[in-house]
C-alpha cells in the first residue's frame, strides 16, 4: 500500500462517492446539515484506523476532498459532525463510523453491538440520549473500486415484453443445494453463471431472471438474536455495493460474468430493489449510514414531530425521495447497476412508496418522472410492486406508462377459480384478458400486468395445493405473521402425503394453474422451483428462513413428478412463444375481425354459444371457453382455450364456425401427443385446461 498524504486536496463535488482517476481518489458525500465530515482510512483488514482526514471543501452541500496516490482496494468510512437534536430531526454522532451511501463494495459485515446506536441503547432517555462509544470495530467499511471490465461482444437480449417470461429466484437459494457445483460457488453469482443452471432456465423457456435483493443488506438484530437470518434481503445497507455473501471470491466481476453469460443465452437480468426504506429502522434503530450523515434529508420525518419517522413501509422509516439529493442517490444507483453491470431491469419493492409526495401517491411524482425521462433507465424493464401500508397504499393499475405492475388480483382470482370458489367466471375472464379493466388506459399494453400464481412472498405452488393453513412456526412469531387467506386447498390431506389419489389431484391442479398463467395475456412470472414442486413446508412468509425451508431442493427436479411438471411447463411456454394469440401485444375488445364472423376475442359457454350476460352471473358455473384470433404470416391463427374447474369431466360443444382444430396441450394429460380433433364435441377432464389451435390460410380467409 502506498504512503498516503496526511491531508486531502480540495478535490471535486462531482461525482458523489469514491472515484479513482488513476492517480488518486476523489471522495464526495452529500450532507446539508453537517458541520464537518471526516474521512477515515483503514488497513486492508478494516480493523485498524490509519488516518482521519477532514474533507476540506463543501460545495452546494457536498463535502469533498482528493487523496493523491490512493488506489482501488482502499478501505474507508466517514464520521459526520453536527447537532444531535433528535427532536429537530438531527442525529449526528461522530463516534459512529458511517458507511458511504455510494460505497460500491463492502469489506466485512455488520457485527451487532450496542455501540452501533447513536444513543444509549438501554438508557432511560431512549433515543434522546447520546452514546460516545466508537462503532468502527462493528461496522462494515467501504472499499474503493475499479469498475473496468471487458464486456467483449455482450449484447442485451432486449426481449420484447410480449415474449417475456420471468423466473423469480434468489441467488443463494437457487444453487446452494446443487451438489453438482463446486462448494465455494454454491449460492453465489458464480453458480448463476454455470451452464447447467442456464440450461435449466432455457428448457423452461425463461427469458428473464428476477433476483431477490442483491444489494448489500443487514442481518436484522432481532432475527440474529432468535438464531434466524434475513434471507430475502429487504433490509438495504448499501444501494451500490452487492451483498458480499453472493460473491464466491469477492470480485464484482463475478456478477458481470454471470450477466454476460445469461445475455449470451438470451436471458435478461432484473433486480429486485428496495429504495423505499433502509435497514436503519425507526428512531430506535442503529446509526450506520444515512441517519448519521443527514437524517433530516434522507428520511421522511413527521411534520412538527421530527423525532419520529413517517413509516409507510412497515419497516420503521421511509426514504425521502422528495429531496433532490436523495432522489439523485437512487437514480445514480439505478444507472450504476444498469451501466456497470448491464442489468436489464428493476422490480421496485413497495413501488407506491416511491411515488409518494406530500399529498400522497402521485403517478407524476418526481421519482416516476425522473425515470421516465432518463435515457438509460427508461429503456429498461421497470416493474412496480403497487402497494405499501400507508394511506391509499393499494395502487394496482395506477402506475404511469412505462411501468408494469405485480398483479395480485391475477394471483388471487386464478387460485380461487381452481379451488372451486363460486361466481369466479367474470374475474377469471378479466385475468385471461390481461386485466384490461385495470391497465387499459394511457395507452398501456397487456404486458403492464405481471401475472403470477406464486411469488417469494406467500405459498409456493406446491404448498398452495398441499396446505389449507399456513405453517410459520419456525419464524418464531407464533404463526401470526404471513397472509391469513391464501385461497389454497389441500385436496384431501394437510401437508405432505404419499396418498396416490391426493398426489395425482395436486399435480392436476398445479398443471391447470400453470397453463392458465401461460395462456393469459400479460407478462407471466414463475416462482423459482415451482416447476418441479418446491415446498416451503407450508411457510408463507419465509423471509427469515435461510435454510432448507427456502432453498431449492434439486433432488425434486430429478424426480419423476418434477421432470413431468418441468417438461409440461416448458411445452406450455413453447406454445406461448409460438402462438401470438396467447401473448398479444395489444388489448383485444372483440371489435376486430381477422376472419368473417370471427372476432379477435370471444367468450363461449359449454354449449358453444356466446356467453350471455346472465350466464356470467351463475355462481355454480365452473366452465368457460375463450377463442382468440389474430392475423399472422400466411393467414389467421385461431386458438380455443377450454377451462373446467369442476370435479367432473365436462363436454364442450365447439363454437361455430368449425375449424380443423388440433389439440396441442391438455393439462389432464401432461405427456399427451398433439392430435386433430374429430367432430364438434370435446371432453375436458375435471380440473383441467385444453388448448386447441387452428390455422386458416390466406386464400381461405379472404
Active site residues: 349, 385
Q: Burial of 217 by CB count in 10 Å (0-12 exposed, 13-18 middle, 19+ buried)?
A: buried
Reduced to 3 states, what is the DSSP secondary structure of residue 400?
Answer: coil
**Count of C-beta atoms within a 10 Å radius of residue 648:** 9
Strand partners, 652: 682
Cis peptide bond N-terminal to 15, omega within 30: yes
Quick one: residue 590, left, alpha or beta (phi over 0 = left, psi -120 to 50 = alpha)?
A: left
Query: Is the Cβ–Cβ distance between 275 and 348 less than 8 Å?
Result: yes
Length of the chain: 702
Identify which of 37, 44, 52, 46 has the alpha carbon closest to the alpha carbon of residue 72: 44
**How far is it between the farthest Cα atoms of the chain?**
90
Long-range contacts of 1-6 (CB under 8 A, 24+ apart): 1/43, 1/44, 1/71, 2/69, 2/70, 2/71, 3/69, 4/41, 4/50, 4/51, 4/67, 4/68, 4/69, 4/70, 5/67, 5/68, 5/69, 6/51, 6/53
The answer to whether 404 touches 451, Cβ cutoff 8 Å, is no
* C-alpha dist (Å) from residue 207 to 137, 270, 486, 616: 44, 11, 28, 36
Strands (E) located in 191-341: 208-211, 268-273, 301-302, 305-309
Contact (CB, 8 A) for 526 and 572: no
Cell of 8: 486531502
Contacts of 34 (CB under 8 A, 6+ apart): 63, 80, 81, 82, 92, 293, 294
Chain centre to alpha carbon of residue 655: 40
DSSP secondary structure letter of residue 366? H
- Best CA proximity match to 81, nearest among 114, 54, 99: 54
Residues 367 and 358: their CA atoms lie apart, in Å, by: 13
* 3-state secondary structure at position 269: strand
Which residues fall within 8 angstroms of residue 637, CB to CB, at 6 or more apart? Answer: 579, 580, 581, 629, 630, 631, 693, 694, 695
CA distances from 350 to 355, 399, 526 (A): 9, 12, 20
Peptide bond into 63 cis (omega under 30): no
Cell of 126: 431512549
Residue 333, SS3 per DSSP? helix
For 11, 13, 30, 37, 282, the CA distances from 16, given in Å and listed in that order, are: 11, 7, 8, 14, 26
On whether the CB atoms of residues 79 and 40 are closer than 8 A, the answer is yes
Amino acid at each position: 500500500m502506498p504512503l498516503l498524504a496526511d491531508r486531502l486536496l480540495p478535490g471535486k463535488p462531482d461525482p458523489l462517492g469514491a472515484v479513482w482517476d488513476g492517480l488518486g481518489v476523489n471522495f464526495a458525500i452529500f450532507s446539508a446539515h453537517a458541520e464537518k465530515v471526516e474521512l477515515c482510512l483503514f488497513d486492508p483488514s478494516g480493523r485498524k484506523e490509519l488516518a482521519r482526514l477532514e474533507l476540506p471543501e463543501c460545495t452546494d452541500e457536498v463535502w469533498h476532498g482528493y487523496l493523491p496516490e490512493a488506489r482501488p482496494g482502499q478501505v474507508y468510512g466517514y464520521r459526520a459532525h453536527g447537532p444531535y437534536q433528535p427532536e429537530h430531526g438531527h442525529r449526528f454522532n461522530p463516534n459512529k463510523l458511517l458507511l458511504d451511501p455510494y460505497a460500491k463494495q463492502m469489506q466485512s459485515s455488520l457485527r451487532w453491538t450496542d455501540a452501533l446506536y447513536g444513543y444509549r441503547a438501554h438508557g432511560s432517555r431512549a433515543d434522546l440520549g447520546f452514546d460516545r462509544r466508537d462503532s468502527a470495530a462493528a461496522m462494515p467499511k467501504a472499499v474503493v473500486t475499479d469498475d473496468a471490465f471487458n464486456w467483449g461482444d455482450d449484447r442485451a437480449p432486449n426481449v420484447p415484453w410480449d415474449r417475456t417470461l420471468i423466473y423469480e429466484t434468489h441467488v443463494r437459494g437457487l444453487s446452494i443445494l446443487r451438489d453438482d457445483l463446486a462448494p465455494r460457488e454454491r449460492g453465489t453469482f458464480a453458480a448463476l453463471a454455470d451452464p447447467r443452471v442456464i440450461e435449466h432456465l432455457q428448457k423452461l423457456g425463461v427469458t428473464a431472471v428476477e433476483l431477490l435483493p442483491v444489494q448489500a443488506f443487514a442481518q436484522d438484530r432481532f432475527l440474529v438474536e432468535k438464531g434466524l437470518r434475513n434471507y430475502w434481503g429487504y433490509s438495504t445497507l448499501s444501494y451500490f455495493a452487492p451483498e458480499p455473501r453472493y460473491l464466491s471470491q469477492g470480485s464484482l466481476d463475478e456478477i458481470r460474468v454471470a450477466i454476460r453469460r445469461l445475455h449470451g443465452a438470451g436471458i435478461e437480468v432484473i433486480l429486485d430493489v428496495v429504495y423505499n426504506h433502509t435497514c436503519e429502522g425507526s428512531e430506535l434503530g442503529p446509526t450506520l449510514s444515512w441517519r448519521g450523515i443527514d437524517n433530516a434529508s434522507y428520511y421522511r420525518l413527521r411534520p412538527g414531530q421530527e423525532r419520529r419517522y413517517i413509516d409507510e413501509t412497515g419497516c420503521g422509516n421511509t426514504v425521502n425521495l422528495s429531496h433532490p439529493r436523495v432522489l439523485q442517490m437512487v437514480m445514480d444507483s439505478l444507472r450504476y447497476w444498469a451501466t456497470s453491470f448491464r442489468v436489464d431491469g428493476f422490480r421496485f419493492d413497495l413501488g407506491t412508496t416511491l411515488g409518494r409526495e406530500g399529498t400522497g401517491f402521485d403517478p407524476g411524482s418526481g421519482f416516476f418522472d425522473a425515470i421516465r425521462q432518463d435515457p438509460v433507465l427508461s429503456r429498461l424493464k421497470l416493474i412496480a410492486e403497487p402497494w405499501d401500508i400507508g394511506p391509499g397504499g393499494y395502487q394496482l393499475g395506477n402506475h404511469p406508462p412505462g411501468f408494469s405492475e405485480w398483479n395480485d388480483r391475477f394471483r388471487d382470482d386464478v387460485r380461487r377459480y381452481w379451488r372451486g370458489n363460486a361466481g369466479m367466471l367474470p374475474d377469471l375472464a378479466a385475468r385471461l384478458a390481461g386485466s384490461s379493466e385495470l391497465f387499459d388506459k394511457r395507452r398501456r399494453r397487456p404486458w403492464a400486468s405481471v401475472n403470477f400464481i406464486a411469488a417469494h412472498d406467500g405459498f409456493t405452488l406446491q404448498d398452495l395445493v398441499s396446505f389449507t393453513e399456513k405453517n410459520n412456526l419456525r419464524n418464531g412469531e407464533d404463526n401470526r405473521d404471513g397472509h391469513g387467506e391464501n385461497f389454497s386447498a389441500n385436496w384431501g390431506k394437510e401437508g405432505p402425503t404419499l396418498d396416490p389419489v391426493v398426489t395425482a389431484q395436486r399435480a392436476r391442479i398445479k398443471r391447470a394453474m400453470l397453463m392458465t398463467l401461460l395462456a393469459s395475456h400479460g407478462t407471466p412470472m414463475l416462482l423459482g422451483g415451482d416447476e418441479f414442486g418446491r415446498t416451503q413446508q407450508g411457510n408463507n412468509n419465509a423471509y427469515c428462513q435461510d435454510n432448507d425451508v427456502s432453498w431449492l431442493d434439486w433432488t425434486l427436479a430429478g424426480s419423476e413428478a418434477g421432470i413431468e411438471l418441468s417438461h409440461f411447463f416448458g411445452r406450455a411456454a413453447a406454445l406461448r412463444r409460438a402462438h401470438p394469440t396467447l401473448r398479444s401485444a395489444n388489448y383485444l375488445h372483440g371489435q376486430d375481425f381477422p376472419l368473417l364472423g370471427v372476432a379477435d376475442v370471444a367468450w363461449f359457454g359449454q354449449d358453444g354459444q356466446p356467453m350471455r350476460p346472465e350466464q356470467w352471473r351463475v355462481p355454480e358455473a365452473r366452465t368457460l371457453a375463450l377463442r382468440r384470433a389474430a392475423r399472422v404470416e400466411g393467414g389467421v391463427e385461431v386458438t380455443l382455450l377450454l377451462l373446467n374447474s369442476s370435479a367432473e369431466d365436462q363436454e364442450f360443444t365447439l363454437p361455430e364456425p368449425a375449424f380443423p382444430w388440433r389439440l396441442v396441450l391438455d393439462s389432464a394429460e401432461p405427456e399427451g401427443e398433439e392430435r386433430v380433433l374429430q367432430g364438434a364435441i370435446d371432453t375436458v377432464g375435471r380440473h383441467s385446461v385444453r388448448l386447441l389451435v387452428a390455422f386458416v390460410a390466406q386464400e381461405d380467409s379472404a
